[in-house]
Every structure is written in C-alpha cells, then in structure tokens.
Structure 1
Amino acid sequence: MMSLQPALIRVHSEDTVAVALRPIAAGEQVALGAEHFTAAVAIPQGHKLALTTHAPGDTVRKYGQPIGRATAAIARGDHVHTHNLATALAGELTYAPGSHGEVAPTQVNTTHWRGYLRSDGRAATRNEIWVLPTVGCVGLTAEQIAREATVRHANLIAAGRIDGIHAFSHPHGCSQLGDDLAGTRAVLAGLAANPNAAGVLVLGLGCESNQIDELLTLVPENARGKLATLSSQSAGDELAEAAALIDTMVARAATAERVDLPLSALVVGLKCGGSDGFSGLTANPLLGRFAETLAGAGGTPVLTEIPEIFGAEQALLSRSINAQVFDAAAGLINRFKRYYLDQGLPVSENPSPGNLAGGITTLEEKSLGAVQKAGHVALCSVIDYGQSAKPGGLVLLEAPGNDAISSTALAAAGATMVLFTTGRGTPLGFPVPTVKVASNHQLAANKPHWIDFDAAMALDDGQRATDAAFLARLVAIASGEKTAAERHGQRAIAIWRRGVTL
C-alpha cells in the first residue's frame, strides 16, 4: 500500500540515495516523484534509502557529491549505512583553485538590531562583566567572585543595566610548555577582548606558567582599558580586592546604552554539534542562507571545525578571494590532517556515535552537510586558534570539531553570537549567546528548554518564511532576548590542549 505522507527527500538530482523524512517500515512502499520504492528493511528517520543499485566499490552520492564507497552490494530500496558504506578519505591532498566555488551575490539588507557600540568601534550583543582565571588553581575562586558579585548587583541586572557577571573556569594555565601554553594564553586573551565583556577581571594565582603580564601582551591595546588584574598570592584578601575591582567595572558598564546598529556590525560564529541526517537538509542550510545575508550586508560569519570540512573542502577553497587566502586555507586543512596522522589516527576518525545513530555514515557526508553553514559566501580570511576575526566576509578559524573547544575559539575570535545547529540536542552554552537550532521537529518539541529555533519548519513553510522568522529571532536575541542556554545558566569554556603535561 502506498503511503500518502512524504517519506523521502532527494537533496540533489545526481544523488544515489534519499533521506527518510520519517521512519519507514520494512516492506513499506514509498514514492519519490514518479518513482516508487519498497524498503528492504526498516529505515529510521534521517537515514538513507538507496535509489539505485550499487556494486561493491561503487561511489555513493548525496548532496551531489561522493560520500564514500559501497562495501557490499546495495539493492534499490536498501538501507545505506555503516554496514554497506565506508569513507574514501585518506590523508593530505594537493588542492588546486577551481571554478566550481559558487559565490553568493552581495545583498542589500537594511535590518537593524540594538546593541552596544564599544570605544574600539566593535559592537556587542551583551553588556557583561567576566572573570577569567589564568590557571585552574583559581577557577573556583573566580566562580565565587562572580557569584557574590551577582548577588550584590542583582538590582542592576534585573533592571537590564548590565546583562550579567560570569566566571569562566578551566583546568589549564600551568604544567604547559611551548605552543600548548601559547594556545591557552592566546584564547584567554581573545576572550578578554570580546566586546560582549564590558569589563574583565583577569585573576591569577601568582606562580603559574600563564603569567598575567605575558597574557596581557596578547590583548589588543584598544581593549586593555576594560581590564583589571589580580594576583591571588600577592593580594591580602583576594576576595575583597576582587569585589572592589568588579564593583568599579559594574558602575562603568551600567552607563552603557543599546543603540541601533546595522547587520554589518555583527560577528557570528557558525557551529554544529550532535548532527543527524536532517542537519544538512534543514538547519545547516538555514545558517548558510543567513551567512550569505550577513556577509552580503558587510557582516562577519566565522566558520571553524576544520576536521568537519574534510571531504567537502574543495568548493570552500574555490571561493577564496585570492591566492593568499586559498593557500592559507589549504595549508590549514592539510596541517590539521597531519595533526591526526602524526597521532597514528585516520583523518576520517568521525562521525561520532550520536551522528551515526542520527543517520550520518561517513565523514564526507558529515562534512558536506556541515560546510553548508557558510552557504556560498566568499572566503575572505584564515586565522589561527586564538586570533581575532578580520571584519567583513567569511573567516575560517583553526579549531577542532569539539563543541566546547570550537565554540570557545569562536568567542575568542570576537564572535558576539554563536549559531549552533543540532539534530540530537545539547544543553551547553558558551561565553556569548548560543542560539540552538534544531534540525528536526521532534527535538524542538521535546527539548524547548534547549532549543531556540526549529529549522525543520522549512520543510513545512518553505525557505523564505523560515529565513524571515530566523532573522527576526536572531535580531531579538542580538538585541537582548536571552537564549535557552542563557536562561538556564549554561555557560562554559574549554581550551584546546595539544602538548605534554609537566
């Protein structure tokens, strides 16, 4: 019996698989256009059904691109997943500029939002005080300082004069050497410079490797005026001295006012985590269309998660604005592959168990869905971990796929919002407003305390209505409306460790 409900979607005309829009029972007949298919076995939502036969070794295509090779014979109507599909990725590659990197046209967008314009010309979506410990030894002290200051200034927070006082503890800053210590120092300096922090207390212990003075040299000079420092070992009562410093910052921050700002003033991080088979169909393309709007208006989208570009990098590289950007991006991708290979690991050591359960089979498939977060925006610059994003156009940032590490790196690069797509769901938020975008209706319905927007509405209402609703939601959040993660106190950072521990 033929089902009346849509069951399949084919992303690209050249695809040899389709995605199940709902669970399909074994033996169920489903239609895709004029073609009819009988599911050989039960196919979970988000998983793939074969549209054609494949012999062992044949290329399987989704998004119009190869996502791996068949490891067994695949019949029409079969479930295509880990039992019959494997990655074709190997190691480093030599890339060449190509002509197939379609670039989105510049868009005229007059959308405004209400934010804080800082003295260095950058715009903030929040007006907060941050406590950043240089070392894990004073992480709990930093949290105590922020907690007590929040109580003291509860009236100002309730009145919206400041948006909050937060500490971001971590276990690093000592027993590190060389580039590993430099990375910790760079990302903390980047966080200290983030415009969402109107004032920052840099709290040290005193004897740590990550000395305050050396950290401060990495903070841009035009951001140092909002900083205060305290060495706990040198202080008398470090809690009392910290409280006095925080109180001064709060008094200064409370005078700031939100003003109308253009879309071009936004720096927005693009992130995905806990992806499923719908992520590349709904949520990531939604971010891609927003990234095109943002970049077209002169704003700055920032893409990271370098391992989740492997297998989809050529189209991104081909959108480089010049040879220098192309070479920098290609070098970063191969350098990250070498990072894996030097540890004796394959570059395809992905997807995660949650990705697999959600229907993603290979890293190529995950990457082809993930890079859609950047739409067809021209690639304008490439920056290392801990560096600041250059304004205007797409920025590629060095960081791994790990949610907490890459989201922290986005905030350190200057992002004042992070757009985080997910098909499986996660409650965690990061230093700047973290907008959780669900790829499917079920997640949005089951976890409203995690999710800020349901991208699957595009399957019902169409792209234009969904894009307009999403932009309105982002403007509201940029202008002060709290995200689900903010409402529930979900804020954290994580630092990328790459060296030995003493």
Structure 2
Amino acid sequence: MPDALQVHAADSVAVALRPLDAGETVVLSGEHITLGQSVEQGHKLAIRAHGQGDAIVKYGLPIGRATQKIAPGDHVHSHNLVTALAGELAYGAHRSDGPATMVNSGGPLWQGYRRSDGRAATRNDIWILPTVGCVGLTAEQVARAAETRHAEAIAQGRIDGVFAFSHPHGCSQLGDDLGGTRALLAGLAANPNAAGVLLIGLGCESNQLDALLAAIPESARTKVRTLSSQGVGDEMAAAAALVDELVADASTARREPLPLSALVVGLKCGGSDGFSGLTANPLLGRFSETLAACGGTPVLTEIPEIFGAEQALLDRAVDTATFEAAAALVNRFKRYYLDQGLPVSENPSPGNIAGGITTLEEKSAGAVQKAGTAPLTSVLDYGEQATLPGLALLESPGNDAVSSTALAAAGATLVLFTTGRGTPLGFPVPTVKVASNRALSVAKPHWIDFDASRALDEGQEAADAAFLEALIGFASGQKTAAENAGQRAIAIWKKGVTL
C-alpha cells in the first residue's frame, strides 16, 4: 500500500493512508514531497502550493478555500481550510437527456420472497407499528409475547421475527409535521419485508388509524391489521389474535430465485472518515452502477450531505423534469436550514473532523460516490415509495436513524451503511455495515459486515466481487451483525412545533 493517495489527477491534496511524520518524504505522481508537519491517517496533505483564498481540490472538486498560504507537504485541515458554501443556487438548465437505464436481466440471482404486488423482500417479518408514542411500549410488549409464542416458527425459518418499532410522535403535531409522520409510517407498512403489519393506535391521537391506513398504498393494505387500544377491553389479547393471524399467513411464503432487478437498496453513510470517500463509498458506487444496469433501484438520501457536490447528480438526470425536481429538492433543503437561521454548511460532525474530513463540500464529494454514475431516474418525497429502476434521490436529512428509516419507508429491503467511525445501530431492514478502514473492521467485528479497505490491498475487482457475493448472502437471509445483536430501531423526522 502506498503512503498517501491522490484520488483524482486534478487534486491539490492527497490522503495519508498511514500516520505520516514531519520530515518524511512521500512520492505522488513521480514527485517527492517532504512533509512540513505530521499528518494523521485519513487526513490531507498539500501536494502543491496554495495562496490565501485558493480553491483546494479533492475528488476532482473544490472542497473549500485556503485561509492562509499552504506549502507542499503541509497538513491541510480545519486550521487552514474553510467551506465556500453559501445558500440556494440557481442551477443551469438541464443540458440534455441523461443516460437511459440499461436494463439487463443478467447478474447473480438471490433467494427472496416475491410478494403479491410483484415486489421482492429479503426478509419475512411481522411488523408492529404504533400510530402514537402513547402505545409504543404496548407495541413492544405485543412483539415480545408474539416472539415467545411463535419461537418454533422463527427457529424453523417460516418467519424471521416479530418486531415493534416505537417512536414518540403521532400526537401534538400539526400540518406538514403530522403529515410527515403519517407518510413515514405508511411507507414502512408498505415495505415488502413486512409480510404482515399490525397498526396499534390509542384512539384519541392526531394520527388517526383511518387516515394512516388510507395513506398506505392500496396494494399493501391486505397485509395490514389495525387495533385501537381504547376501543377494546383487553388490548393485549386482541393484538395477540391479530398477530397470530398475520404469522399464519406469512408462514406460507417461500424464498425463490430472484434477479438483481428485484432489489431496492438504500445507500447511507454515517460516522465518515478520510477513508470513506476512498474505499467504502466508491465500493457502494460500483455496486449501485451494477444494480441500476440490471434494472434494480439504488436509493440515495441525506440531502444536506450532497451540498457542494449536487451538480454531479443533477447532470445524470434522465430528463428535464427529474433535473428540476432534484434541483428544487436541494434548494428546498437549503431553505430549511436558512429559515432556522443556520448556515447550510453546518456539517461535518466532530467525529468526521477527527477522521480527516474538514468541510461539507469534502464530505459531500465523498458521499455522492455511493451512487456511482447510475442515472438519476426519480426524486422522492419523504415517505414516498421508489417504483422506477435506476437511481432514486430521496428527501431526508442526514441523521443516521432518520435517513435510514426513510430508506426503509421508500421500499428499500436492504440498507448499505458505510462508516469510518463505527456504529452498532440497525434499522427495520437488514443494515449492512461497511467499514472504510481495516482498524475499525478488526476492532468491531460485531458491528461490521464488510471491510472496504480490501480494495487497497486486493484491488477493486476482487473487493467488488467479494462485496457482491456478501450482499447476495445478506439478501438471501444471512443475518447482518446488527440483526444478530438485535439492533432494530426507527426515527421520524420531526420538523414542526409540538403542541
């Protein structure tokens, strides 16, 4: 492995692949560069001189401007690099139709469940969704009791489990805020991985059962049962009877060979470091290209974490309407920040900075690589279902739990989650944790499912093949680290006042 890596020929900085000491010399593109200061692993060093105000370039894109003179070999980070992001932008007109999705029925098969509406599932679960926080603990009690009653069915693989997803919302909300909660829960109820769904309400909440049921796509309503806790005497017994009915129906499902085109896969990064844009995110990007070329659907979200790199996505829109919808979504999110009196560049996090990421432009330029060069075919509102092949851009903030939940509500039956810092948390659908660096993979094998740093040692082709094989296994029923640890949770985007 080299000492440092220049990602793109136009870059003015390189990334240290190991800790480098002041006075060491590294060779980049045939040039010998002596370090003026020590540079931590994952951090940046200048490979050419910069004047104050000059653009600093990484991934072939400007990631901010120098605040002082920077000599070749200097450490480049928050002490001498700042963001150049401002507010909303007037994006140029869509230049021409982008590349059409290349639908190819080839590629490896995976073993999944084909649902009655034609969609495919990677798991055969029963989900219990409370309409309101008041019955969140009730939903968890119902799920625990059901798992005990149906332990044999779970052990035999007839169902994968009974899971409750509690949350604190559903009442004391108004307007679009309440609408967002309802749309998110409706999207979760429609996810193919949920073979059966029990909606548990209290009875007096703002998020009424009838309105929530009406928000679920009609094709998914046949698998949904509802219960108003205030409307029955013994809500636990009533819920148990409904869950038992759902388990009986779900137990008849069988896995069958399915093409890659049947997969809807969420793309997520959390706790990124300086290696995320070198190893893990490009690995997902190459898979996204393969998936889209086969007629499958990769879904990208975390809209604030594409600020500064959005043009690369906009340029891949397949038509003018998609271009305009994507541009409007990005600017709408920027306006969301500005209306709260916050700068659009209020990122990266402390963990990102410690790992070597300095500005939001740098984080975004690495983050958008999760989508590779797949054509952008659709733009989804929060809670909306992905229905078209090709890349979908989904409205959601960058928060790990909120965005991962939104991916599941959009229909993703597998979430690919890259990380350089690590996290144990999992979400309603299998969450595949992809480490950007070897140290994390070694330190946290109970969190991590794949080590993307293999691409540096084994080469991209070998790493890609191993990754695809691993994903086929997870889609076909192999449990992820988060599943084995019982880590499943949801979070809802709360963006309005609370009464």
TM superposition score normalised by structure 2: 0.98
Contact 1:59 1:69 in 2 (8 A): yes
User: Considering only aligned residues, what root-mean-square deviation do their CA atoms show, in Å?
Assistant: 1.3
Alignment match, 2:372? 375
Q: CA deviation at 1:47?
A: 0.2
**SS of alignment partner, residue 225 of structure 2:** strand
Matched residues, percent identical?
72
* Mapped pair 1:55 → 2:37: no
* Mapped pair 1:85 → 2:81: yes
Q: CA deviation at 1:100?
A: 10
Which of 285, 293, 309 aligns to 1:296? It is: 293
Alignment match, 1:31? 27
Aligned-partner residue type, residue 91 of structure 1: G
**SS of alignment partner, residue 348 of structure 1:** coil
**Unaligned stretches of 5+ residues in structure 2:** none
| 1:412-427 mapped onto 2 (5 Å cutoff) | 412-427=409-424
Q: Distance in 1 between matches of 2:248 and 2:109?
A: 28
Q: CA deviation at 1:41?
A: 1.5
| 1:271-420 mapped onto 2 (5 Å cutoff) | 271-420=268-417
Q: CA deviation at 1:105?
A: 7.7
Deviations 1:443-474 (A, max 9, x none): 11110000000011000111111111100000
Alignment match, 2:175? 178
Report the CA distance shift for 1:104/1:442 in structure 2 as closer, same or farther (over 3 A): farther
Q: CA deviation at 1:97?
A: 4.0
Report the CA distance shift for 1:98/1:45 in structure 2 as closer, same or farther (over 3 A): farther
Aligned-partner residue type, residue 48 of structure 2: T
Alignment match, 1:478? 475
Deviations 1:112-141 (A, max 9, x none): 000000000000000000000000011011
**SS of alignment partner, residue 316 of structure 2:** coil
**SS of alignment partner, residue 294 of structure 1:** helix
Q: Distance in 1 between matches of 2:174 and 2:353?
A: 36
Q: Distance in 1 between matches of 2:347 and 2:374?
A: 26
Q: Distance in 1 between matches of 2:107 and 2:450?
A: 23
Aligned-partner residue type, residue 3 of structure 2: A
Aligned-partner residue type, residue 250 of structure 1: V
Contact 2:281 2:366 in 1 (8 A): yes
Alignment match, 1:199? 196
Contact 1:104 1:292 in 2 (8 A): no
**SS of alignment partner, residue 370 of structure 2:** helix
Deviations 1:356-378 (A, max 9, x none): 00000000000000000000011
Q: Distance in 1 between matches of 2:136 and 2:101?
A: 46
Q: Distance in 2 between matches of 1:283 and 1:99?
A: 31
Q: Distance in 2 between matches of 1:405 and 1:221?
A: 25
Alignment match, 2:41? 45
Count, aligned residues: 498
* Mapped pair 1:71 → 2:67: yes
Deviations 1:335-354 (A, max 9, x none): 00000000011100100001
Which of 244, 249, 252 aligns to 1:255? It is: 252
Contact 1:103 1:376 in 2 (8 A): no
Alignment match, 1:233? 230
Aligned-partner residue type, residue 388 of structure 1: Q
Q: Distance in 2 between matches of 1:222 and 1:328?
A: 26
**Unaligned stretches of 5+ residues in structure 1:** none
Q: Distance in 2 between matches of 1:483 and 1:213?
A: 35
Alignment match, 2:123? 126
Report the CA distance shift for 1:182/1:427 in structure 2 as closer, same or farther (over 3 A): same
Deviations 1:97-116 (A, max 9, x none): 46699859837433100000
Contact 1:267 1:391 in 2 (8 A): no
Contact 1:302 1:397 in 2 (8 A): yes
Deviations 1:40-61 (A, max 9, x none): 1211100000001111101100
**SS of alignment partner, residue 276 of structure 2:** coil
Q: Distance in 2 between matches of 1:98 and 1:425?
A: 38
Report the CA distance shift for 1:450/1:103 in structure 2 as closer, same or farther (over 3 A): farther
**SS of alignment partner, residue 137 of structure 1:** helix
Q: Distance in 2 between matches of 1:303 and 1:315?
A: 13
Q: Distance in 2 between matches of 1:399 and 1:40?
A: 41
**SS of alignment partner, residue 11 of structure 2:** coil
**SS of alignment partner, residue 60 of structure 1:** strand
| 1:122-161 mapped onto 2 (5 Å cutoff) | 122-161=119-158
Q: Distance in 1 between matches of 2:434 and 2:52?
A: 37
Aligned-partner residue type, residue 190 of structure 2: A
**SS of alignment partner, residue 217 of structure 1:** helix
Q: Distance in 2 between matches of 1:255 and 1:373?
A: 36
Which of 455, 459, 466 aligns to 1:458? It is: 455
